[in-house]
Structure 1
Amino acid sequence: MDLIGPTSQSYISQRTRLHYVDWGNAGAPPLILLHGGRDHCRNWDWTAEALREDWHVICPDLRGHGDSEWNNNGHYPIMGFVFDLSQLIHQLQLAPVTIVAHSLGGNIAIRYTGLYPENVRKLVAIEGLGPSPKVQAERREKPYHQHWIEWIDKKREASSRQPKRYATFEGALSRMHEANSYLTAEQARHLTLHAVMRNEDGTFSWKFDPHLHAWPLDDVSSRGLQEMWGRITCPTRFIYGADSWASNPEKDGRLAYFGDNVSVTEYERAGHWVHHDRFTDFVKELRDFL
């Protein structure tokens, strides 16, 4: 079968136009690939190309990311992202759907699956559980009012600062390599190509909203999250990189809030972006698990 694509599409959620790419093969089972924070949907291109013969692959740009619109108020609560995902699945009638997600996308997908367990056939989340118990404990030691003061300061900084401009594409490419040293030259160039926009003066800036640096404090409680986690019934795989900053739930105790349907894989010689750092092994695991 000769598949074309990906094709750019859009849908409306919370009065905002959001972008996604559709890799074709609409008659196949639906598979959503959801990117992480300050990333974009085209970071999944290699995975989508590997799976598109067997799946109808859809890769959304989160609001404030990629080619999706920014929020006018610069406020991005996680449950707002969860609503966007629920709207995509609802509007395109994708349920029951399989989801593979990374980092922030993993956090969103895990919450959605806990809310609507009947809508997800299988779930793979790469480092998507958010801050570790250790980090959360450290945060609780700081006075509550201080968190809000720091958030206001970050918002003001984001409002007063112009998006960083790189004089050349190579400057942005260098920053991409700096963020993930595991990337090959080909991977870094491809990711940067879809991550930047050219400004009117010929410089390059990242597409994501600078306000994404100021993470909202209003969120679901730890107890609420744990309840959502316990509601997940589909086969679920959590993937971690041994060299990442993220905490493995099998080692930090968070796996206890999930059922026997959840398992964990850890990759040596991999950081936060396991799907790039160990691509061949990652795709093999996906094929076997899905």
Structure 2
Amino acid sequence: MSAIARSTEPRLDSVTCASPAGLHRMAYWEWGDPDNDRVLLCVHGLTRTGRDFDLLAQALQGDYRVVCPDVVGRGRSDWLIDPAGYVVPQYVADMVALIARLAPARLDWVGTSMGGLIGLGLAGAALVSPALRPSRGRWGLDATPDVPLGRMVFNDIGPALDLDGLSRIGSYVGQDIRFASFQQAVDYVHAVSQGFGPHDDAGWAALTEHVFHEQDGQWVKHYDLRIAQPFALQTPDATTAAEALLWRAWDHLPMPALVLRGAQSDILSAETAQQMVSRNANARCVEFLGVGHAPTLRSEDQIEAVRRFLLTA
């Protein structure tokens, strides 16, 4: 294994993406051999960053080129001019631009919460648009489905969304909260992220390090607070229509899929997880006790569940 493949720190790069308002830069963190054409794309949740996957990436970087983007509006990525663009279709388009840059021969996917919805949106788009299908390690307008999207992990997310859980998240997403010390920021993340399950002090500090940054002597959120605006405008009718599209994509998902669920999740219900498995023969579910929304993929059992699924023939 090369020195790059054994790295304990990721490389930072970016790709230029387009929206109706213009161009923006999406940053991504990369682990493992950059010449490895087997790519694992890990996409984070609504208010998180690509650095959430550090421990998972370290465990898999010998087998994959692991790429963990900061979705636009978060982390090291640009903020959009028009906040109406903070929606899944724009995120899918950005991932297509990233995939074109990476040119994988095989692409596997791990998506936590919002990242799972982006993955499902990407898979759904590939079902109807040959332009989004991979071919000979390239993604482009002349592509044909020679090389299919590989395995997909959906971390505590599914086509049906629990409205109470969404309301809980929506209650703090757009708040401009500032702290005088990093420890106060850690305490805040701990308080609003009980669903992450048990972590020691070092674990909570790691979960805070990349989602707050110091600015003018204060610790502030890493993301554009305007990501809350499209989130707040969701109506019951729009949610119902979106769920219908997501279920259609899920029902026709052709690749092996692993659903991870926190046993106390208020986003992915046990009933929805069971329905996902019953409606798609390619899917199976693993549940983690003592965890809600969402498993952080930092513990040995969670990492091993993902590793075994992705690497088992």
Counterpart position of 2:125: 115
More moved, 232-241 vs 250-259? 250-259
Does the CA contact (< 8 Å) of 1:229 and 1:257 recur in 2?
A: no
Does the CA contact (< 8 Å) of 1:250 and 1:264 recur in 2?
A: no
Does the CA contact (< 8 Å) of 1:249 and 1:255 recur in 2?
A: no
CA apart distance, 1:224: 2.2
Correspondence for 1:17 among 25, 31, 38: 25
Whether 2:199 is the aligned partner of 1:183: answer yes
Correspondence for 2:263 among 218, 223, 242: 242
Deviations 1:58-104 (Å, cap 9, x if unpaired)? 00000111111111222212111111112111222125300011000
Q: Structure 1's 273 and 224: CA in aligned 2 closer, same or farther, altered over 3 A?
A: closer
Secondary structure of 1:234's aligned partner: coil
TM-score normalized by the length of structure 2: 0.77
Correspondence for 2:224 among 172, 188, 209: 209
Q: Which residues of 2 match residues 1-290 of structure 1 at below 5 A?
A: 1-3=2-4, 4=7, 5-14=9-18, 15-28=23-36, 29-75=38-84, 76-94=86-104, 96-116=106-126, 119-129=148-158, 131-132=160-161, 135=163, 163-181=176-194, 182-200=198-216, 202-214=217-229, 215=231, 216-217=233-234, 221-248=242-269, 250-251=271-272, 254-255=275-276, 258-276=279-297, 279-290=299-310
1:207 and 1:275 map into 2 onto residues whose CA distance is 18
Secondary structure of 2:151's aligned partner: strand
2:250 and 2:74 map into 1 onto residues whose CA distance is 26
1:59 and 1:35 map into 2 onto residues whose CA distance is 8
CA apart distance, 1:199: 1.2
Q: Structure 1's 255 and 184: CA in aligned 2 closer, same or farther, altered over 3 A?
A: same
1:128 and 1:232 map into 2 onto residues whose CA distance is 15
1:253 and 1:79 map into 2 onto residues whose CA distance is 27
When the two chains are superposed, the root-mean-square deviation of aligned CA atoms in Å is: 2.6
2:181 and 2:244 map into 1 onto residues whose CA distance is 47
1:125 and 1:256 map into 2 onto residues whose CA distance is 12
CA apart distance, 1:250: 4.8
Q: Structure 1's 97 and 204: CA in aligned 2 closer, same or farther, altered over 3 A?
A: same
TM-score normalized by the length of structure 1: 0.83
More moved, 42-51 vs 84-93? 84-93
Structure 2, gaps ≥5 residues long: 128-144
CA apart distance, 1:273: 2.6
Deviations 1:172-230 (Å, cap 9, x if unpaired)? 11111112342321121122121112212x11101111122231536763332222222
Structure 1, gaps ≥5 residues long: 140-150
More moved, 94-103 vs 180-189? 180-189
Q: Structure 1's 101 and 222: CA in aligned 2 closer, same or farther, altered over 3 A?
A: closer
Deviations 1:26-61 (Å, cap 9, x if unpaired)? 233111111101001111111111111111100000
Deviations 1:99-122 (Å, cap 9, x if unpaired)? 011000111111212222654210
1:87 and 1:275 map into 2 onto residues whose CA distance is 26
1:203 and 1:272 map into 2 onto residues whose CA distance is 28
1:239 and 1:34 map into 2 onto residues whose CA distance is 14
Does the CA contact (< 8 Å) of 1:89 and 1:95 recur in 2?
A: no
